[in-house]
Structure 1
Amino acid sequence: MNPRTSAQDVMRCDLCETAVVQMHCDTCLVNLCTACVGKHMISDESKDHKVVKFQARKSTPLYPRCKSHSKDHSTMYCNQCDIPICPKCIASESGKHQGHKVSEILEVVNERMNKFVKERNELNDTIYPTYQDIASDVQNRMSQLEKEYGDLSTTITKHGEDWHREIDKLVKKLKAEVDEMKNTQLQTLQKHLDEINKTMSDIKDETDSVKMSTDTNDLSKLLGVTSNADRYKNLPHKLAPSLPKFIPGKIQGEELCKSFGILSSSSLTSDKHGYSMKTTQKSPEAGSSPPVKQLLDQPETVTTIDTGYHYGLYNVACLSDEEIWTSGNDSTMKLYSINQGSLLKSTTAKSGNNPYDIAVTKSGDLVYTDDSDRTVNIVKNEKIEEVIRLQNWKPLGVCSTSSGDLLVIMDSYINKQTKVVRYSGSTEKQTIQIDNKGKPLYSSGRYNTFYITENRDLEICVSDWGANAVVVVNQAGILRFRYTGHTPAPKNEPLSPQGITTDSQSNILTADYNNDCVHIIDQDGQFLRYIDCGLSEPQGLCIDTNDNLFVAQCRNTQVKKIKYLQ
């Protein structure tokens, strides 16, 4: 048949191969015309032929033969032995299936068929598309890795060229010093040689004078000759030049490597929870791209919540679209109803110190950092559990990632270092501290403030108050960009970043304390707009699943809910 037109061909009888198919044998799976039915029935009388209309084919089940009674069909199923059986197996008093749970085989087959159909649909609709996304993600990571390693090699090559130029300068300088020393010593020796040559000329003249005097027979002239040989017996000093020596520095591989520059260690972490299955349900974490939302022409304040802190409100974190956690300049963390603005409950930090930052995990538990006693804690079922305790570092900003990890930014002002650490539970999985040139990614200082969040594309965003910048790295910790503000700013002050969060569009939002506003930048660091809405000293930020922005205002201790996306 022609594959392009086979769908239009009429099906023929399998026996005569000429007449149009009208019947079907479900036992033998043969297509028949009416005339050939009788011939087929007597072709093999050992079989129980089930001939039906062609449209009703496969309507008659083909029961398997019983393994214990070969002439009988198995119409039942022993659930305990997990095998098909026939009625004789059940009726036999001495049979091994006595007392076992037995079902009709069609029921078992239908259950399995439904399971297979469900699994097939899951494979087609969910699992396979998820693996397609994973393959695409890995390919993208490989491409990005190729580019970033290429950039790293270029940086090393450029640094090597810089070293070559400096070495060439040093070689030129040393050779110039050698030439200068040589010329000085040659000039001195030349002067010495000139003096010796003059003395030799004087000696020759003296010799000639004595010879003339001794060749005469005039005694008066001979007595008048005076010999000056004694004056030449005092020989000149011997000048022995001392050559400078070149003492090459030892080329010690390890020390040279440290002087030239070193590579930080690379890592390839494996996280079995790193991917999530695609789903057909609508949720903020769905694998498909979120609907595109445009910025409102004018952001609007939806509601204001008075938190009642006396000395300052620092942080806000969304528990749900109806509830928010807050923390301020005391040890109490408060849960508020957004719609009613009422206090629902509160919990007190175990140490009695005020929390530095708060976050909510995927499971809805509250996490807080305590920089005074150097701990990260989680509140579960009204009980506080210490998850992480640090020795020489202070935990500052914290966020819960899409994979369930914790990202903690911490500093050690004694060592003047700052780093981001990823934790799975209390296990350290990744450290992010320096860029590909070996320079610190983040500023350091005793009174610096840092906040941290993860974007939808798994990039890690840090607000670095000491550097007046937002620092964004990819999942591997490679620097993507630094955002240092946009001019003109509302109060013409430098960017003073505090709280940081991201929305469904992968935009990054950071609170600007000194300019009384929030900056919105896209995932590539391009400025989009300011949000002010009468804000006063904005500090903490968070966003709910509907992209409503919550701003914790430090001095007046109010939280504003702001709509800024359509």
Structure 2
Amino acid sequence: MCCDICHINLCIACVGEHLFDRSKEHKVVPFEERGSTINYPKCQKHSPKTCELHCKHCNIPICASCVSSGDHEHHKNIDILTILSNKKELIENDLQELKIFICPKFQQAASKIPAQKADVKQRSLNLTAALNKQGEAMHKEINSLIQRKQSEIEDMDKQHLAAITTQEDLINKALNEIKQVILDLQKLLVSDDICLVSEYTSRNEEFRNLPPQFQVTLPTFSPHEINKEQLYQQLGSLSELVITYPLIDEAARRTEEHDGGKKTPGAVSSPKVRPFSDKLLSDTPRILTDIQTEYGGGEILESVKTISEKAPKDIAVTRSGGLVYADCSDRSINLVSGTQIHTLIKQRGWKPRGLCIMSSGDLLVAMTSDDRKQTKVVRYSGSTEKQIIQWDDKEEDEKKQDWMYKHSGPYPRGANFVPDIIKVVHKITIKLE
């Protein structure tokens, strides 16, 4: 036997003694029929009366005496079985979402972590191979400098692996919580304890999105010609490892950022200069988020003096975060790496007027002749000239427009790192679409 109210198993001899306790209600049923009785909550004000209604205004279960007392006059009272049914429906929906959508999404994200770690190792090997190939051609005096560069690679590997491990920990932690919630919800579904079920609060919103996924700009090794007087500089430059997270506070990484959502204090990003992304830009400007930085007073972070000591004509940012500038005074295009300036291009008879980085990583430079009678746009890969587009004043506009049509794409104007449109006239104009 079993008391379906007290949830106590009884032998036949104990049934009478159990029913003798009249301080509370009892219902003794065969053991096979246990759980068939609805376990109504006891009224906190009129014990031992049971609550068969729920006051929507006060959000508490109430009994008939509560209603007659007038405490809940003009309040909307709902049958407590309706509350039970609605809660169980919510639990069922949450359980299905967790099992069918949320849990598999986290499992898939967790399964990608080993491949990401392997990719880091492979890319590290590629960087090391490029570094060693350059080092073999150099004199034995630069071995210590090679080791310094190798240490930089290893440090960045540690940063990258640490970021991936942090991501893995966040995903696994959330995955464990999801699995535990699934077990708890499965228990609630078979429970008839109204108090326990009524206290249920959905956590699906907390798990609906994956933890913020970091973005990384991988380092590259760029060798230079050997110069024993400047061994360290000639060995090559190793770009920084850049690990960026969405605009979200470091302490709140474990929570999701909803679409159109909250303002966040700042971004976690290692470079001082961030290039534009390949994403299309909207024709209608709108504020996506406010970014509060610690440099509100306009503080200078870093400055480099140009070789000519004249103001640059134009600047652009490479994918790795380097700064490229056009110097009209000495007809040069220069790359700034840290505090070092490397001259990439120098043209005789032509002065650079504007430049940008193409989606392919190539450099696009707009130039005018020294006599200002001709204009052209030159495409460079590194320091190598790949393409020249040039017209003079006598060319018909129809020919220019036809060239633009063939090279255009459905992209908004005004952004680096996207497919490019170039229009060349006597007074040059560059449009990026």
User: TM-score higher than 0.5 here?
Assistant: no
Greater fraction of residues in helix? 2
Q: Which has the higher Rg, Structure 1 or Structure 2?
A: 1
| TM-score normalized by the length of structure 1 | 0.31
